[in-house]
Structure 1
């Protein structure tokens, strides 16, 4: 039996055991996992330094290096995320009544685990902890296939979590890290449809496309984050500038960072000079349409087809729009269904924007950086679904479950 098939089989067996574990025990285990991460913070960061040195030597892009880096604060954030998950209600076993049929059958639905979740990700070692905790609380086993850049860090995090599972007599296969990043093994992993129920890839567009094209298992996709801020003619321009700076400059290498600014032409002459000054102070590279370019020094002028880029850096696209519908049309063409933001004091316009824009998160007068599982009250997220299967947007506990029908009768037979 191959390594991958064995890992997949063991995960499937472990998932059956976890399905019988009650909420109280799961929460106790999770709290001990958080404690262990804190206690082993030095070991985690030491392993992370090995990964960082290798990634730097391999000339990994700055955005990926940022995702790869684990500071003491980020280790603490992982632990806090697990504690938050422990405090959330367990969705497993929740029932909702559907109704009674004319023949007397009583119909309900119950939340159940998906089974075995496979995460395929790049330089994101925090995913190991987030996915491990979310899957455990929601009753799923998880197989984690991280990129080579984060292998040492991911393995030590998984080892810490597995040691806690072992203390409570639970199978270590509930949280498994594939120990070899060989792409051939990843291809084999994506064929294990007898044991794995869903694959969730997190990473660049190339990785998502590769998994989607080659998997025999359903894939929940998380494509690139081309997030827009539309500044409406009725916007508070001070708020708009704050949203722009926070969304673009606070952390550039993440999928909820802003990549484009749309400005209504009626307020462009008031707002764009402020934008030019503020972005110049943050050394943001400007790519602008011909209408907007005159407000900026050393900007790159853009053609229509140049929009829709995910920069993941101190770089942004800027465009004036003639009216509200023009902004909606632009987002429909160039957005990635991740997160879109409007800044406006007009409640009718805000409501129209939230209805009309097709994105998993649509915000009014709030930074795109809040498009995150922990910020939205999910504790942590296993990914942000930009495809519309059973989940759309940040995926927390409930998104890692399905519903089965419960049908109760008194001996009815079908005529």
Structure 2
């Protein structure tokens, strides 16, 4: 057995033992650990920033990647506040999801329980470690966090704060673990840990997620990319549309909920599209446009066929002019990654047609796609976005990190 496999096997064994303690702990105990970890993150802010500065200085990645990697006082406070908000949420464990009684008198209950051992594989964003650790802790799951090598120093400092919270609450330190080094072999060992790890959640670039989905022998909860669309219908309020697309594209261009493609009805494109282009250009955005959009706004760069299948993760927007809502839905069906789509319109019937006709995890009406975030959903934080067809879709929060068991209560019944 290689060293990395040995470490993962040992970590999983420790996590299994810790998860049994965690699953049987009170909600008050888990909340104590969370609030203590939040206080520790605030107290360790200077050391976290110093470690992060070293990570950023060593990075040779793109600007979008470096933005995800970079911490500042506001982002550290957001991490701590996220843990406090998770602590304030209702306990997800022990919820009775359904109950019924059979004619023979047997009573049945479906009760929420933890998944067990989560393996979290992520890139660049150090705050993911805090969010994932907090959500797993609250939902009774032990977690092994394998962040990217580029954020190892930051991850260690954040992990130390979480461990401090666990110790203060009297919970096992092994509830939240990280590998001792940045060896990439830890990822392969986690992917092959069938029977040791119950669920893998990857969060990062397309190559990472596709590798996890291709190689994992453990169930995976993931999305490969966030190719999100905003569709402006002919009945949209023009000022609302301008404000929404500016936010959806440019608030943070490197997040998976950023709009990558603008679809706009041909009936209003002639008057509205030039203003939208001016708005976004003033914010530093570039464009890739179809022939109809190029005819309306001369000087736009013509889009290649591949551009509408590209998650830019930067200040670039693909633009297509469409005939109506059905054409918009057809475009989305061809090019979407099933992450997040939005429609801007005052026509309720058209909005309902769009909401029902879009096969994506999250669909919005008159709101920015950047609201696809667990905190904005009221989940306190998220461990990622799921675009699959089983277990969970959209932001993965506390509820999505639980499964269930059946409890059957009898009074001496025997089966005939």
Q: TM-score range by the shorter chain?
A: over 0.9
1:11 aligns with 2:15: yes
Mapping 1:360-399, distance limit 5 Å: 360-399=361-400
Mapping 1:134-213, distance limit 5 Å: 134-213=135-214
Q: Are 2:124 and 2:151, in contact at CA under 8 Å, matched by a contact in 1? A: yes
Q: Give the secondary-structure state (helix, strand or coil) at the position aligned to 1:307.
A: helix
Q: Deviations over 1:326-377 (max 9, x none)?
A: 1001111111111100000001111111111111110000111111000110
Mapping 1:245-256, distance limit 5 Å: 245-256=246-257
Structure 2, gaps ≥5 residues long: none
Q: What residue number does 1:40 align with?
A: 44
Q: Are 2:35 and 2:165, in contact at CA under 8 Å, matched by a contact in 1? A: no
Mapping 1:4-403, distance limit 5 Å: 4-55=8-59, 59-403=60-404
Distance 1:287 1:229 in 2: 15
Distance 2:106 2:97 in 1: 15
Q: Are 2:387 and 2:393, in contact at CA under 8 Å, matched by a contact in 1? A: yes
Q: Are 1:123 and 1:147, in contact at CA under 8 Å, matched by a contact in 2? A: yes
Give 1:214 shift.
0.9
Q: Are 2:269 and 2:296, in contact at CA under 8 Å, matched by a contact in 1? A: no
Distance 1:297 1:132 in 2: 50
Distance 2:214 2:288 in 1: 32
Q: Give the secondary-structure state (helix, strand or coil) at the position aligned to 1:252.
A: coil
Q: Give the secondary-structure state (helix, strand or coil) at the position aligned to 2:58.
A: helix
Distance 2:126 2:221 in 1: 20
Q: Are 1:33 and 1:82, in contact at CA under 8 Å, matched by a contact in 2? A: yes
Distance 1:335 1:325 in 2: 15
Q: Give the secondary-structure state (helix, strand or coil) at the position aligned to 1:301.
A: coil
Give 1:305 shift.
4.7
Q: Give the secondary-structure state (helix, strand or coil) at the position aligned to 2:291.
A: coil
Q: Give the secondary-structure state (helix, strand or coil) at the position aligned to 2:64.
A: helix
Q: Are 2:68 and 2:254, in contact at CA under 8 Å, matched by a contact in 1? A: yes
Q: Give the secondary-structure state (helix, strand or coil) at the position aligned to 2:309.
A: coil
Deviates more, 1:98-107 or 1:84-93: 98-107
Q: Are 2:375 and 2:381, in contact at CA under 8 Å, matched by a contact in 1? A: yes
Give 1:166 shift.
1.9
Give 1:407 shift.
1.2
Give 1:304 shift.
4.2
Distance 2:251 2:180 in 1: 34
Distance 2:281 2:383 in 1: 35
Q: Deviations over 1:162-188 (max 9, x none)?
A: 122123332111111112232222111
Q: Are 2:36 and 2:168, in contact at CA under 8 Å, matched by a contact in 1? A: no
Q: Are 2:98 and 2:111, in contact at CA under 8 Å, matched by a contact in 1? A: no
Distance 2:90 2:189 in 1: 35
Give 1:295 shift.
3.4
Distance 2:271 2:193 in 1: 57
Q: Deviations over 1:364-403 (max 9, x none)?
A: 0011111100011000000010112211000111110001
Distance 1:346 1:207 in 2: 40
C-alpha RMSD over aligned residues:
1.2
| Total equivalences in the alignment | 412
Distance 1:101 1:304 in 2: 58
Distance 1:390 1:405 in 2: 17
Distance 2:392 2:50 in 1: 36
Give 1:104 shift.
2.2
Q: Deviations over 1:202-243 (max 9, x none)?
A: 001110110111111000012211111100011001100101
Distance 1:403 1:239 in 2: 43
Given the two structures, how large is their TM-score scaled by the length of structure 1? 0.97
Distance 2:69 2:25 in 1: 33
